[in-house]
Amino acid sequence: MKIGFIGLGIMGKPMVKNLIKAGEVVLVHSRTQASVDEVVADGAIPSNIAEIGRECGMVITMLPDGPDVEQVVLGAGGLLENAKEGLILVDMSSIAPAISQKIHDKCAEKGVKMLDAPVSGGQPGAINGTLSIMVGGDGDLFERVRPILLKMGASAVHCGEIGAGNTTKLANNIIVAMNIAAVCEAFTLSTKAGVDAQKVFEAIKGGLAGSAVLNAKIPMILDGNFNPGFKIDLHIKDLQNAVNTGQEVGCPLPFTGQTIDIYRQLSKAGHGQKDHSGMWLYWNGANE
């Protein structure tokens, strides 16, 4: 079965490379030619949305947000218009659960099956093929697709009906954002109080305050290296999707609200394309 892959950004490119390494035939499409050329050099086949719809048994999308997935799948000349019956769409983008459900229902009308399967683990996880994949949709379809998902990830968990993968991802990204906020606030305090940040990191990383976020982000913060990684603007998108979903299900999210405000201020000051660990700049010179 040929696999189509649409969206060759920070995450999409290494995911494609891992599929190819694992022996899959992958047709790719993205808007930027340089991104296409990079994965073609590794053995991907350059293509377009219509051809991918006609030729592939399974298509993976890895796009920024719901409106992008809607455009690529449901838009004029999009995947659905060109899809052969029985095509499996696995949307691995992080989008609002309600949009996953809408796209799923439109796909079902045309005999296209869909899972939502967002990921955690960041660019390193995508490069190393160790992503954590959270999946919503039909359980039998998940079992069929799982071996392919595990060529890009270390785990794939079926979380429930369509949209459940993205609901899980919202929970994930709330925890990550607040963990980053806690790390930035705590390390700003200890630094301003005169204790060396490297010593604080060494002292606490093995205790209860230790976390994957601490281990991944403190080295970047101490180096002043905010190359993405995961962009602040994309994290704003996820937190806004969490706030919207909270409103739909009657769940206030006060800390998420505060975190999104901080990220919005940074984005407004021109930091939106920096890594989300750039939240550090809120306490340490955002306007410099």
The reply to whether omega before 160 is within 30° of 0 (cis) is: no
Catalytic residues: 169
Tell me which of 66, 97, 136, 229 binds ligand NAP, using CB under 6 A.
229
Q: Which is nearer to ligand NAP, 98 or 204 (CB)?
A: 98
Angle in degrees, CA 232, 243, 112, rounded to 5: 85
Which range in 30-38, 102-110, 150-158, 189-197 contacts ligand NAP by CB under 6 A? 30-38
Output DSSP code: residue 278: G
| 70/161 with CB nearer ligand NAP | 70
Strand segments (E) across 137-211: 153-160
Cβ–Cβ contacts within 10 Å for residue 42, how many? 15
Q: Does 199 bind ligand NAP (CB under 6 A)?
A: no
Q: For ligand NAP, which is the closer residue by CB, 33 or 198? A: 33
- Can residue 35 be called a binding residue for ligand NAP (CB under 6 A)? yes
The least distance separating ligand NAP from the CB of residue 91, rounded to whole angstroms, comes to: 9
Please name the residue ranges forming H helices in 193-253. 197-204, 212-223, 232-249
Is there binding between residue 10 and ligand NAP (CB under 6 A)? yes
Identify the sign of the CA torsion 266, 65, 48, 90.
positive
Question: Does 64 engage in binding with ligand NAP (CB under 6 A)?
Answer: yes
Residues 237 and 64: their CA atoms lie apart, in Å, by: 9
**Closest approach of Cβ 194 to ligand NAP, in Å?**
34
38 or 190: CB nearest ligand NAP: 38
Single out the residue of 39, 37, 61 nearest to residue 49, CA to CA: 61
Region near ligand NAP per CB under 6 A, out of 68-76, 196-204, 206-214, 279-287? 68-76
Q: Dihedrals φ, ψ of 79, to 5°? A: -60, -45
Cβ atoms < 10 Å from Cβ of 1: 9
Please identify which residue in 4, 7, 66, 278 interacts with ligand NAP, judged by CB under 6 A. 7
- Least separation in angstroms between residue 232's CB and ligand NAP is 11
**CA-wise closest residue to 273 among 10, 7, 8:** 10
Per CB under 6 A, does 166 bind ligand NAP? no
Nearer to ligand NAP, 11 or 27 (CB): 11
Question: Exposed, middle or buried by CB within 10 Å (0-12, 13-18, 19+), for 13?
Answer: buried
Q: Residue 155, interface with ligand NAP (CB under 6 A)? A: no
Distance CA 285, CA 280 (A): 9
In the complex with ligand NAP, the residue whose CB is nearer, 137 or 228, is 228
Nearest residue to the partner ligand NAP, using Cβ = 9
Residue type, 268: K
Contact between 89 and 35 (Cβ < 8 Å): no
4 binds ligand NAP (CB under 6 A): no
Residues at the contact surface with ligand NAP, assessed by CB under 6 A: 6-12, 30-32, 35, 62-64, 68, 71-72, 93-94, 119-120, 122-123, 229-230, 234, 238
